[in-house]
Amino acid sequence: MKTKITELLGIEYPIIQGGMAWVAEYHLASAVSEAGGLGIIGAGGAPASFVREQIQKTKELTKKPFGVNVMLMNPEADEIAKVIVEEGVSVVTTGAGNPGKYLAMWKEAGIKVIPVVASVALARMMERAGVDAVIAEGTESGGHIGAATTMTLVPQVVDAVKIPVIAAGGIADGRGFAAAMMLGAEAVQMGTRFVVAKESIVHENYKKKILAAKDIDSEVTGVSHGHPVRQLRNNMTREYLKLEKAGAPFEELEHLTLGALRKAVVEGDTVNGTLMAGQIAGMIKEEMTCAEMIQEIMEQTERLLIK
């Protein structure tokens, strides 16, 4: 399938893997790229040295294009931005901020830059700053989210910019993919579905929670301090929301979430860990390889768009 994004990135299918902290490491990224999508290493809150290692390991497993996601709140974001250039990574996505200060360096190195935006205003600003495409991520997504839904954000961003738009948030099968195309997107980004890929190193307990999730099993924590995070409901979210409702200070709330994503992904702590997942978790029922997922999605899309 050819779109502006497959052409821009030199990939077979317009499916991009979300740059999920802890989850999006080299096994997953290389498997998605090998399957014809764009695999992404998620720098999350990791140090620059870890990101460099991850890039090198990915290069050993695939000769196809892959990218790195820079989570802009990472204290080592400046160093990570340089590592990406030094390692000759071809695509960068960014999240949780404005990547403006790195654009000149990345563009000079010939890197394709694709920021995640949660508003039309940031999409416009990014286009003016010279990025190659934007990912319009709706509030259905897991992790750190904006306020607008995918259904409303994607067409408004498509109308506002001339660069290609990638839709994210609530997409996990051919129906979501086809719907995104109808909204004017040139590709999709999926996160939650890839968390349960066979190649994903995420702890079995976490995967099982996603596979068992129902439509309304996610909660958004952190709205009161301007950092909303979507995750599956558990002991941690109940505790957090109770404190948040009572007006607890940020430091007290932060205490609950510090290291909690690692606890969930690595240790499989589904009680006190942060089980980041999007609203589409309720539809995901099977662990598959990345190649099986991508093939299934593309076949379903083809049937829907051609019939």
Point out which span in 30-38, 89-97, 105-113, 284-292 binds ligand TUI (CB under 6 A). Answer: 89-97
Helices (H), the chain: 4-9, 26-34, 48-61, 77-86, 103-108, 120-129, 150-160, 174-182, 192-195, 204-212, 235-245, 250-257, 260-262, 290-306
Counting contacts by CB under 6 A, is residue 282 touching ligand TUI? Answer: no
96 binds ligand TUI (CB under 6 A): yes
CA distance linking residue 303 with residue 44, whole number of Å: 36
Chosen residue from 14, 37, 146, 164 binding ligand TUI by CB under 6 A = 146
Binding track over 164-203 against ligand TUI, x by CB under 6 A? ----------------------------------------
Nearest residue to ligand TUI by CB is 143
Q: Between helices 77-86 and 48-61, what is the axis angle to 10°?
A: 30
251 contact partners, CB below 8 Å, separation of at least 6 = none
Which residue of 23, 122, 172, 256 would you call a contact of ligand TUI, by CB under 6 A? 122
What DSSP line would sit under 136-204, residue for residue?
EE-TTSSEE--SS-HHHHHHHHHHH-SS-EEEESS--SHHHHHHHHHTT-SEEEESHHHHTSTT--S-H
The correct pick among 97, 155, 184, 268 for binding ligand TUI (CB under 6 A) is 97
| Interacting positions 58-77 with ligand TUI (CB under 6 A) | 71
210 binds ligand TUI, rule: CB under 6 A: no
The yes or no reply on residue 47 touching ligand TUI (CB under 6 A) is: no
Examine residue 261 and tell whether it contacts ligand TUI (CB under 6 A): yes
Tell me which residues touch ligand TUI (CB under 6 A): 21, 44-45, 71, 95-98, 116, 118, 122, 137, 143-146, 229, 257, 261
